[in-house]
Amino acid sequence: MSPAPDSFDLSEFPDDDSLDIGMMIKEGTYHFVVEATDPDHVSKTKGTLGAECVCQVLNGTEPSQKGKKLFEKFWYPTPDQSDEGTFCTQRIIKFSRVLDIIPESALGKSGVKIPWEKAVARQFVATVVYNYDKSDTEKKRPLGSQIDGLKMWRVNDPEVAEVDKDQDALAMLGGAGGGETTTEPPKRATNIGDL
């Protein structure tokens, strides 16, 4: 038997975020459920404020990825961003509409509040890509996985009809068009943990 090591090589793990490298989701398109939200998430590196949504893979391009978590950040817009926050706003609106946590009637209005807490247990489909440090021009070592911009859809969107989905989770939707989970009929699972 080998003796216990007295030291470890941590050079491949420069910060806390790099510890999640083994849980990266392979690039592809997946069926997700939102497990938790944190509307007061702060970036460890820049102090940027945003909402973090913890999303679990239910099925998709690579079935082996089922159960993995995506820690997706939706950064809040600020006037100092290169596009004055337009893209950040678009991502938040798209995610909110895909999950049906804001109504279509909210579009075009000001002062709309996003009820992040309503995102929990909602389902959606999204394309996932690797994200890289901006200095890694050869894209050798991904930092993690993230949703590819605005590539998010409702589970019944015709554009993602061919994406493999978890049928038990879909049954929880009870025919709903968006991401909302229903508890009807009563014999179906009412919590994603029941699947």
| pLDDT, tens digit, 9 for 90 and up, residues 5-61 | 777 777 656 666 555 545 689 999 999 999 999 999 999 888 999 999 999 999 999
The dihedral built from the CA positions of residue 40, 43, 47 and 49, taken in this order, carries a sign that is negative
Asked whether the beta carbons of 155 and 179 are under 8 A apart, the reply is: yes
- Specify the residue for token string 């309503």: 118
Domain membership of residue 120 (yes or no) is yes
The pLDDT assigned to 19 comes to: 58
Domain membership of residue 7 (yes or no) is no
Domain membership of residue 10 (yes or no) is no
Domain membership of residue 117 (yes or no) is yes
Domain membership of residue 101 (yes or no) is yes
If one counts the domains in the chain, the total is: 1
Domain membership of residue 83 (yes or no) is yes
Structural domain range at position 173: 24-194
| pLDDT: which is higher, 151 or 16 | 151
Asked whether the beta carbons of 31 and 164 are under 8 A apart, the reply is: yes
Whole-prediction pTM: 0.78
Strands (E), the chain: 28-42, 49-60, 69-75, 123-131, 144-153
CB-based contacts of 165: which residues, under 8 Å, 6+ apart?
31, 58, 59, 60, 125, 155
Question: Residue 176: is its pLDDT beyond 90?
Answer: no
Domain membership of residue 6 (yes or no) is no
Average pLDDT over residues 164-185: 71
- pLDDT band (50, 70, 90) for residue 179: low
SS3 content of the chain, % helix, strand, coil (to 5): 25, 25, 50
CA distance 12 to 110: 45
Domain membership of residue 53 (yes or no) is yes
The pLDDT assigned to 13 comes to: 61
